[in-house]
Amino acid sequence: MHRQRFILASALFALASSSIAGAQTAPTTAYTPAPPPTTAEATFLATIMRDLPARYPTPQAANKAGYVRFSNEDETGAISYANTKAWNSTDPDVPAQLWYDVNDRLIGADYSVRQADAPAGPALFGIDPKRFGKVGAHIHYVTCMVMHGETTTMSPGCIYGKAVGAKKYATVGDVEHPTAQGLVQLGVVKDAAAVKTVFLYPAIYDVSIWVVRNPLGQFAEHNPNVIPSPNAGKGDDM
C-alpha cells in the first residue's frame, strides 16, 4: 500500500464535475481523468511541481529530510516514503508522503490531516475537500535480514508493505508509539532485531498529487507519463 488513492471517491468526484477541460478531455488511456483544478489548486500545483523535485530529487534526499520507505512499487509505479512528523500537513514543502519510481525519480506526494484534528473535514492549501479520502489507522513496519552467526532469521533483503490494524496492535501496546517488541508480541515478527521501521499511520484525510505532469490531471489515479515496472503491484500486503 502506498499513499491511498481512493479510486471510488475519485470516480464519484469525477462524475459530479460538470466539465473536464483542456487535455483532460481526451486522455490517451482508459483511465478516468480528474476534474480540472480550481484557480487556487492550480497555483498550489504549480508551486509543488516546481519545488518538490528540487527539494527531494532522490530517495536519499528524502531520507535525510526524515522520510522512510514503507512500500514496494504499487500498480501505478509509485514507491512510497512517509514523514511520520508531517501527518498534519502545514507546509507545501513538507508533504506527509513522497513517491518515487523504480528509477528514483520523484513522481508524487500526499498531503494529509489527522481526522481527529479536523472535525469539520480537511482544509489544506485551497484544495477542494472532495479530493480527499479517508484512511483508517494502522501500523506499518519494514523487516530486513538479520544475521545470527551463519544463519539468518528471514529472507535476504528487506520486506516492505507489511501492516497490522491499529486495534489489533492496541492489544499489546501504545498505537501512537509502536515498537518492534510489540510486533513480536503480536506474533507477526519473530525477531525484534529484524524490524527496521515501525510507525503509526494514523486515521487521516489524504489527497494524492502527481508532481510529474499528467495528461489526466495531477489529481488523477493513474499517470500515463509514469510507466510501472513488470513487478509493480506484486509486493504489497495492503
Q: What is the pLDDT along the chain (238 residues), one digit of tens a residue?
A: 445 443 333 333 333 333 333 333 334 458 999 999 999 999 999 999 999 999 999 999 999 999 999 999 999 999 999 999 999 999 999 999 999 999 999 999 999 999 999 999 999 999 999 999 999 999 999 999 876 555 445 555 899 999 999 999 999 999 999 999 999 999 999 999 999 999 999 999 999 999 999 999 999 999 999 999 999 998 644 3
Instruction: Give the number of domains in the chain.
Output: 2
| Same domain for 159 and 59 | no
Residue 232 is assigned to a structural domain of this protein: no
| Same domain for 105 and 59 | yes
| Same domain for 122 and 148 | no
Residue 22 is assigned to a structural domain of this protein: yes
| Same domain for 63 and 91 | yes
Predicted pLDDT of residue 82: 98
Our CA angle for 36, 135, 214, nearest 5°, is: 30
- CA distances to 85, 98, 194, 215, 219 from 54, rounded to whole Å, are 21, 13, 34, 22, 20
| Same domain for 175 and 95 | no
Helix (H, G, I), strand (E, B) or coil at 45: helix
Q: Are strands 138-144 and 195-201 parallel, antiparallel or unpaired?
A: antiparallel
Domain span at residue 84 reads 7-136+203-210
| Same domain for 130 and 102 | yes
Rounded CA separation 158/14 (Å): 38
Predicted pLDDT of residue 204: 98
| Same domain for 62 and 132 | yes
Residue 1 is assigned to a structural domain of this protein: no
C-alpha cell at 214: 499528467
| Same domain for 117 and 27 | yes
Residue 16 is assigned to a structural domain of this protein: yes
Residue 238 is assigned to a structural domain of this protein: no
| Same domain for 143 and 46 | no
| Same domain for 123 and 69 | yes
| Same domain for 124 and 33 | yes
DSSP 23: G
Residue 107 is assigned to a structural domain of this protein: yes
pTM comes to 0.85
Residue 222 is assigned to a structural domain of this protein: no
| Same domain for 96 and 143 | no
Confirm if 101 and 79 have CB atoms less than 8 A apart.
yes
Residue 226 is assigned to a structural domain of this protein: no
